[in-house]
C-alpha cells in the first residue's frame, strides 16, 4: 500500500474520532436542553 | 438554580480559538513542514499522534488531581471534572493506539511494536476503561464518585512505574521505536509539533467545558425533578 | 501496638474460618494443578525453548489462582452484610485490609508451594539455578499482587457486578509486577544476562507504594 495511504488513514481516523465525539456531546446537550425546557414548562404551568 | 444555558463568552472564544488552532496546526503539519528524509510523508502522523498522547496523559493527571480533591472536599464538582476528563482521555488515548500502528506499519513493516510509550498508553487505555466500569457498576452517586476517585488515584500512580518497567524491558529487547527518537527535529518541525500540541490541548479544554456544562444540566434536571415531587 | 493486635485477631478469625472448611485452599490447589496440566497439554516445546516460557506460565497460573483467591476474600462478608458488622467494631478499618492481605498471601504461598514444583516436574525442566532469587521473587511478586488485589477486591465487592469487575481493575494495575516478576524468574533460571536486579527494585518500589496507598485509602472504601 502506498505510504500516503497510511497518512490519509491516520488523519481520517483522528478526524472521525474527534468529530464523532464532538457530535456525541452535541446530541447529549440537545437532548438535555429539550428535557430541561420541558421540565421548566411543566413547573411554570403548575405554579401558574 | 436556573442557570443560563446559553454558551458564555468564554465558551465561544474557546470554541473559535480551538477551531482556528486546529486548522493552523493541520496546515503546519501537512503543508508547511518539509517532508522528512528517512520516513517520508507518513511521518506527518507523528505530530498529532504525540499531541494525542500528551493530552491522554494530561487528562489522566486531571483525573488524579480531581479524584484526590474530591475525596478531600466531597464537592461533586470535582467528581464531574474527574469523570469528564476520563471520558475525553479515552478518546485521545484511542487515537494514539490507532495512529501508532498505522505509523509503524509502512515504516517498520509491523503493526505492533512494544514501544515503551505506546505500550504504556495501551495500559493507560485499560485503566481508563476500568475507571469507567467502576462508575457504571454503581448506582448511588456518592458511592460511585468515591470509589472511582480511589481507583483514579491508584491508577495514576501505577503509570510511571509501568513506564519505567516497560522501558527497561525494551532496552533488553530493542525493537522499533514509535517515537521521535529517529527524527531530527528541525525548527519548522518543532513549530508544527508545538502547534499540534497546543491545538489538541485547546481541544481538550473545549471538550471539558462542554462536558462539564452537560453534567451541570443533568444536575439541574435532577434538582428540578426532585423539586417537583415535593 | 493495638493496631497490630487488631490485625492479629482479625487474621486469626480469617484463618479459623478457613480451617473450618478448608474449602478455599483445596479448591485453589486443585485449580492451579489443573492450569499446569492445561499448559502442559496445550503447549508442547522442547527443553531449550521451555526455559523462555516457563516463567511466564508460572506467573500466569498464579494470576488466575490469585484472582480466585481474591474474589473469595470479600465474598463471605458480602453475604449477610457481615462487612457492616466488621465496620461497627471499634477498629481502625485498615486493619481489615492488612489482615485480609496477609491471609491471601498465606493462601497463595501454600498454593505455590504445592503447584510450582509440579511445573518443573511436568515440563521436565531443571530447577532454578539461583533458588534464593526464585523464592524471593515468588514472595515479593505474590505480595505485590495480593496487596493490590485485596484492596481491589474490597472495592469491587461494593459494586453491582462485584467479582467480575475485580480482574478488570486488577490486571492493568499489576502489569509492572507481572513483567518484573517474569524477568527476575527468568534470571533465576540463569537465562538473563544482566539487569534483572533492576526489576527486583521495581517490585520493591511497587510493593511499598501499593501498601501505603491502600492503607491510606481503605477507609474511603468502607464508608456507609
DSSP string, C34-90: HHHHHHHHH----HHHHHHHHHHHHHHHHHHHHHHHHHHHHHHHHGGGHHHHHHHSS
- What pLDDT does residue B1 have? 42
Given pLDDT bands bounded at 50, 70 and 90, which one contains residue B36?
confident
Q: What are phi and psi of C161, to 5 degrees?
A: -80, -20
pLDDT at C84: 64
Return the ∠ at Cα B106 (arms to B203 and B49), rounded to 5°: 15
B23 touches chain C (CB under 8 A): no
Give Cα separations from B94 to B54, C77, C133, C147 (angstroms). 12, 38, 39, 30
Cβ–Cβ of A32/B221 closer than 8 Å? Answer: yes
**Range with the lowest mean pLDDT among A11-25, B142-156, C40-54?**
C40-54
pLDDT at A23: 95
pLDDT band at A2 (very low <50, low <70, confident <90, very high): confident
How does the average pLDDT of chain B come out, rounded? 87
- Tell me the residue range of the domain where C52 lies: 2-221
**C-alpha–C-alpha distance, residues C83 and C74, integer Å:** 8
| Distance in angstroms (rounded) separating the CA atoms of residues C189 and C208 | 26
Distance (Å) from the alpha carbon of B10 to chain C's nearest alpha carbon: 36
**CA angle, corner C27, sides to C135 and C152, nearest 5?**
70
Q: Virtual CA dihedral for C158, B128, B200, B9, nearest 10 degrees?
A: -10
Closest CA relative to residue C213, chosen from C158, C156, C165, C144: C144
Number of domains in chain C: 1
Burial of B16 (0-12, 13-18, 19+ CB in 10 A): exposed
For residues B9 and B198, give the distance between their C-alpha atoms in angstroms, rounded to a whole number.
21
Interface of B with C in 85-124 (CB under 8 A): 123
Contact B228 A4 (CB under 8 A): no
Stretch A28-43: mean pLDDT: 90
Cell of C3: 493496631
Cell of B9: 463568552
Q: What's the pLDDT score for residue A1?
A: 54
What is residue C126's DSSP assignment? Answer: P
Query: DSSP 3-state assignment of B36?
Result: strand
Predicted confidence (pLDDT) per residue in C184-212, tens digit: 999 988 877 777 888 999 999 999 999 99
> Rounded CA gap, B63 and B84, in Å?
8
Lowest mean pLDDT across A33-42, B210-219, C67-76, C160-169: C67-76
Q: Which residues of A touch B95 (CB under 8 A)?
A: 13-14, 17-18
Cβ-based neighbour number of residue B76 at 10 Å: 14
Residues B108-132: tens digit of each pLDDT:
888 888 888 899 999 999 999 999 9
Rg over alpha carbons for chain B, rounded to the nearest Å, is: 20
**CA C104/CA C65 separation, integer angstroms:** 11
Cell of B119: 505500550
The answer to whether B213 faces chain A, any CB pair under 8 Å, is yes
Question: Where is pLDDT greater, at C78 or B157?
Answer: B157
Q: Can you tell me the ipTM of this complex? A: 0.89
Domain layout of chain B by residue ranges: 43-224
**B220 vs C148 pLDDT, higher one:** C148
At C44-87, the pLDDT tens digits run 777 778 888 889 999 999 999 999 999 888 777 766 666 666 66
| Residue B180: pLDDT over 80 | no
First CA to last CA distance, chain C: 27
Q: Across residues C2-22, what is the average pLDDT?
A: 76
pLDDT value for C178: 95
Which residue of C156, C173, C180 is in closest CB contact with B154? Answer: C173
In the prediction, which pLDDT does B132 show? 95
Cβ distance A11 to B207 less than 8 Å, yes or no, reads: no
Contact A32, B121 (CB under 8 A): no
**Closest CA relative to residue C140, chosen from C208, C89, C191, C83:** C208
Beta carbons of B99 and A13 less than 8 Å apart: yes
pLDDT band for C143, please (50, 70, 90 cuts).
very high
Tell me the pLDDT tens digit for each residue of C88-105.
665 677 888 888 899 999
Question: Residue C109: CB partners within 8 Å, gap ≥ 6?
Answer: C139, C142
Looking at residue B5, its pLDDT comes to 55
Q: Is the pLDDT of residue B205 over 90?
A: yes
B60-83 pLDDT, tens digit per residue, is: 999 999 999 999 999 999 999 999
B135, B63 in Cβ contact below 8 A? no
pLDDT averaged over every residue in chain C = 86
Which positions in chain A have a beta carbon within 8 angstroms of at least one beta carbon in chain B? Answer: 1, 3-4, 6-7, 9-11, 13-14, 17-18, 21-22, 25, 28-29, 32-33, 35-36, 39-40, 42-43, 46
pLDDT in tens, B208-219: 999 999 999 998
Cα-flanking dihedrals φ and ψ of residue B36, to 5°?
A: -70, 145
Residue holding cell 485490609?
Answer: C97
| Candidates A14, A28, A29; nearest CB to B48 | A14
* Closest Cβ opposite residue A32 in set B105, B217, B228: B217
Q: What share of chain C is helix, strand, coil (3-state, %, to 5)?
A: 85, 0, 15
Amino acid at each position: 500500500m502506498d505510504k500516503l495511504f497510511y497518512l490519509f488513514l491516520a488523519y481520517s481516523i483522528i478526524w472521525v474520532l474527534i468529530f464523532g465525539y464532538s457530535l456525541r456531546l452535541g446530541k447529549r446537550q440537545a437532548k438535555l436542553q429539550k428535557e430541561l425546557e420541558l421540565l421548566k414548562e411543566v413547573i411554570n404551568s403548575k405554579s401558574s | 438554580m436556573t442557570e443560563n444555558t446559553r454558551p458564555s463568552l468564554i465558551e465561544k472564544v474557546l470554541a473559535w480559538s480551538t477551531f482556528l488552532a486546529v486548522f493552523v496546526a493541520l496546515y503546519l503539519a501537512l503543508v508547511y513542514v518539509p517532508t522528512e528524509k528517512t520516513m517520508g510523508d507518513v511521518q506527518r502522523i507523528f505530530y498529532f499522534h504525540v499531541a494525542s498522547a500528551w493530552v491522554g496523559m494530561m487528562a489522566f493527571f486531571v483525573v488524579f488531581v480531581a479524584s484526590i480533591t474530591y475525596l478531600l472536599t466531597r464537592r461533586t464538582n470535582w467528581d464531574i471534572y474527574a469523570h469528564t476528563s476520563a471520558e475525553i482521555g479515552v478518546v485521545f488515548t484511542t487515537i494514539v493506539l490507532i495512529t501508532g500502528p498505522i505509523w509503524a506499519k509502512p515504516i517498520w513493516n509491523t503493526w505492533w511494536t512494544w514501544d515503551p510509550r505506546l505500550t504504556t498508553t495501551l495500559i493507560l487505555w485499560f485503566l481508563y476503561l476500568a475507571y469507567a466500569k467502576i462508575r457504571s457498576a454503581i448506582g448511588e452517586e456518592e458511592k460511585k464518585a468515591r470509589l472511582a476517585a480511589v481507583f483514579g488515584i491508584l491508577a495514576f500512580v501505577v503509570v510511571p512505574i509501568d513506564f519505567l518497567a516497560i522501558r527497561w524491558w525494551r532496552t533488553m529487547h530493542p525493537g522499533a521505536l514509535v517515537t521521535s527518537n529517529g527524527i531530527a527535529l528541525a525548527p519548522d518541525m518543532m513549530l508544527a509539533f508545538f502547534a499540534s500540541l497546543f491545538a489538541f490541548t485547546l481541544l481538550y479544554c473545549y471538550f471539558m467545558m462542554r462536558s462539564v456544562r452537560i453534567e451541570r444540566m443533568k444536575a439541574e434536571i435532577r434538582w428540578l425533578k426532585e423539586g417537583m415531587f415535593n | 501496638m493495638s493496631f497490630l493486635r487488631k490485625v492479629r485477631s482479625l487474621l486469626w478469625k480469617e484463618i479459623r474460618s478457613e480451617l473450618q472448611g478448608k474449602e478455599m485452599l483445596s479448591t485453589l490447589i486443585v485449580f492451579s494443578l489443573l492450569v499446569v496440566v492445561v499448559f502442559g497439554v496445550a503447549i508442547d516445546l522442547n527443553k531449550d525453548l521451555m526455559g523462555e516460557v516457563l516463567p511466564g506460565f508460572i506467573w500466569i497460573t498464579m494470576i488466575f489462582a490469585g484472582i480466585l483467591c481474591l474474589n473469595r476474600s470479600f465474598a463471605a462478608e458480602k453475604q449477610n452484610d457481615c462487612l457492616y458488622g466488621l465496620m461497627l467494631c471499634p477498629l481502625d478499618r485498615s486493619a481489615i485490609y492488612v489482615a485480609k492481605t496477609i491471609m491471601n498471601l498465606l493462601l497463595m504461598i501454600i498454593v505455590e508451594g504445592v503447584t510450582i514444583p509440579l511445573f518443573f516436574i511436568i515440563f521436565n525442566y531443571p530447577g532454578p539455578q539461583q533458588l534464593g532469587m526464585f523464592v524471593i521473587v515468588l514472595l515479593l511478586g505474590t505480595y505485590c499482587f495480593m496487596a493490590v488485589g485485596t484492596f481491589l477486591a474490597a472495592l469491587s465487592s461494593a459494586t453491582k457486578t462485584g467479582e467480575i469487575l475485580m480482574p478488570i481493575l486488577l490486571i492493568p494495575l499489576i502489569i509492572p509486577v507481572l513483567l518484573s516478576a517474569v524477568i527476575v524468574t527468568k534470571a533465576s533460571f540463569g537465562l538473563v544476562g544482566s539487569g534483572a536486579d533492576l526489576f527486583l527494585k521495581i517490585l520493591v518500589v511497587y510493593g511499598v507504594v501499593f501498601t501505603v496507598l491502600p492503607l491510606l485509602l481503605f477507609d474511603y472504601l468502607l464508608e456507609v
